[in-house]
Amino acid sequence: MDIRQLAAGQRDYILHTRRHLHSHPELSWQEVATTAFITRELTALGIPVMPILGSTGLVGVLRGEAPVQRGRTLMLRADIDALPIQERTGLPYASENPGVMHACGHDTHTAMLLGAARILHSLRAELAGEVRFLFQPAEEVNAGAEHCIRQGVLDGVDAIFGMHIWGDLDSPYFSIEQGSRMASCDNFTLTVHGTAAHGSAPHQGVDAIVAAAAVVTAAQTIVSRAVDPHVPLVLTFGEIHGGKRFNIIADEVTLVGTVRTHDRAVRRQVEPLLRRAAEHAAAVHGASITLDYQYLAPAVQNVTPALTALARDAATRLYGADALREMPPLMSSEDFAQYMERIPALFCFIGARNAALGLTAANHNDTFTVDEAALERGAALYAQFAHDYLQADELPRSSGAGQGA
Ligand code: NI
């Protein structure tokens, strides 16, 4: 059994599949054709498919046929949704859906996992246990994983493995590292309330725009003054809306933003700090605020050394000691973290970048492209990890209890 060779045998299938998906991207929760496509591919293999109730996406179930002693179940996860971006790659297989693009490489994740399903299906006689293939919807809106969990996709699953293709990592290398890998993501809407007046008589009102400016400025000191400088923290105001007319004192301004960090304690510090800074900064101008703070995804943290070691070993046995690269933790986020809160899990990266070929655009960019040479390696790692996980003597299994947020 040589999974590297089997993956090479799937090269054309993976590329063809990836390009098909790339041409037909669908937004979060709308991955109808994508789900139908994956269903057809798995069904054609003889892999039974379970829908995810109430949404797009699906789970394929492959039962190994080797005599089972331990009977572990491993879930391999790919996300399947695209972004509301107009593609400008100029690729021959560019998006055919105006304004929608696979700019985060979820098309490659789907193709790699389908490739892995074909590899593992061909090895089913020697697989001891069960592999479930989770094709998750709606990652980009930070909601798909939570929905899948509510629908019971983790029931009976001992561990879960996920992978992301990454534009800042050289192809075709893996980053498989212990510790925090991606940040938590929490969003907020902060509304500044003032009082309208004629634009020529500001003293008769409370100017929400001036107060909002003070709020934005004051909030910058949360990162620079209030939180331990050793802890990475991003606080971004991405939207500001307010005012009705040039000669009316604005009575309301809405600020929308996001907060990213790798540290659980700091994550909990930010909401009260933001509330305090905003309340006081607004009060100086006689204005008030309301804050709607939404906790979305926790940080992606590889906290199970045995799983990290298993995946690193799988990668180096497949492609040699040179298969791995180190990559600093990212400040972007992934809703895969929701699974990590519940069962033993591992999340790693595969490189998309190839400067020699001019493939250097970052994820979420309208010119994002990937070095497709990496894709068979991704499929191989999914398959090798699953194979090795099911064979391994001692590994952490799901206790059914979360690790807490
Ligand atoms: Ni992504």
Residue 402 is predicted with a pLDDT of 42
The CA distance from 13 to 241, in Å, is 47
185-297 adopts what CATH topology?
A: Alpha-Beta Plaits (3.30.70)
Separation of CA 88 and ligand 1 centre (Å): 18
Separation of CA 106 and ligand 1 centre (Å): 6
Would strands 345-353 and 174-175 be described as parallel, antiparallel, or unpaired?
A: antiparallel
Separation of CA 33 and ligand 1 centre (Å): 19
Residue ranges, comma separated, of all CATH 3.30.70.360 domains in the chain are 185-297
Residue 71 is predicted with a pLDDT of 84
Separation of CA 105 and ligand 1 centre (Å): 6
Separation of CA 199 and ligand 1 centre (Å): 45
Residue 153: name the closest of 57, 48, 42 by CA.
57
Separation of CA 167 and ligand 1 centre (Å): 11
Measured in whole angstroms, the distance separating CA 51 from the mean position of its chain's CA atoms is 21
pLDDT tens sequence across 294-336: 999 999 999 999 999 999 999 999 999 999 999 999 999 999 9
Residue 358 makes CB contacts below 8 A (sequence gap 6+) with: none
Residue 129 and residue 390 in contact, taking contact as beta carbons nearer than 8 Å: yes
Separation of CA 43 and ligand 1 centre (Å): 26
Residue 118: name the closest of 392, 311, 386, 306 by CA.
386
pLDDT tens sequence across 54-98: 999 999 999 999 887 668 999 999 999 999 999 999 999 999 999
Total residues found in the chain within this entry? 405
The CA distance from 110 to 116, in Å, is 10
Residue 384 and residue 166 in contact, taking contact as beta carbons nearer than 8 Å: no
Residue 82 is predicted with a pLDDT of 98
Burial 351-376 (b: 16+ CB within 10 A, else e): bbbbeeeebbbebebebbbbbbebbb
The CA distance from 314 to 221, in Å, is 45
DSSP state letter for 171: T
Separation of CA 107 and ligand 1 centre (Å): 10
Residue type, 240: I
Residue 52 is predicted with a pLDDT of 98
CA distances from 298 to 167, 229, 284 (A): 22, 20, 34
Would strands 248-249 and 345-353 be described as parallel, antiparallel, or unpaired?
A: unpaired
Separation of CA 369 and ligand 1 centre (Å): 13
Coil, helix or strand at residue 180: strand
Q: Which residues of the chain register pLDDT less than 70?
A: 1, 69-70, 399-405
**CATH class of this structure's domain 3-182+299-391:** alpha beta
Q: Determine how many CB atoms are found less than 10 A away from the CB of residue 46.
A: 9
Residue 399 is predicted with a pLDDT of 60
Separation of CA 345 and ligand 1 centre (Å): 17
CA distances from 271 to 187, 208, 240, 276, 336 (A): 10, 21, 19, 9, 23
H or E element: which one contains 278?
helix 264-283
Separation of CA 218 and ligand 1 centre (Å): 32
Separation of CA 102 and ligand 1 centre (Å): 9
Residue ranges, comma separated, of all CATH 3.40.630.10 domains in the chain are 3-182+299-391
Tokens of 55: 């949404």
Residue 294 and residue 310 in contact, taking contact as beta carbons nearer than 8 Å: no
Separation of CA 271 and ligand 1 centre (Å): 26
Separation of CA 46 and ligand 1 centre (Å): 29
Would strands 73-79 and 300-302 be described as parallel, antiparallel, or unpaired?
A: unpaired
- Helices 305-319, 375-391: axis angle to 10 degrees equals 130
- Helix residue spans in 153-230 (DSSP H): 208-221
Separation of CA 256 and ligand 1 centre (Å): 22
Measured in Å, how far apart are the chain's first and last C-alpha atoms?
A: 40
Separation of CA 108 and ligand 1 centre (Å): 10
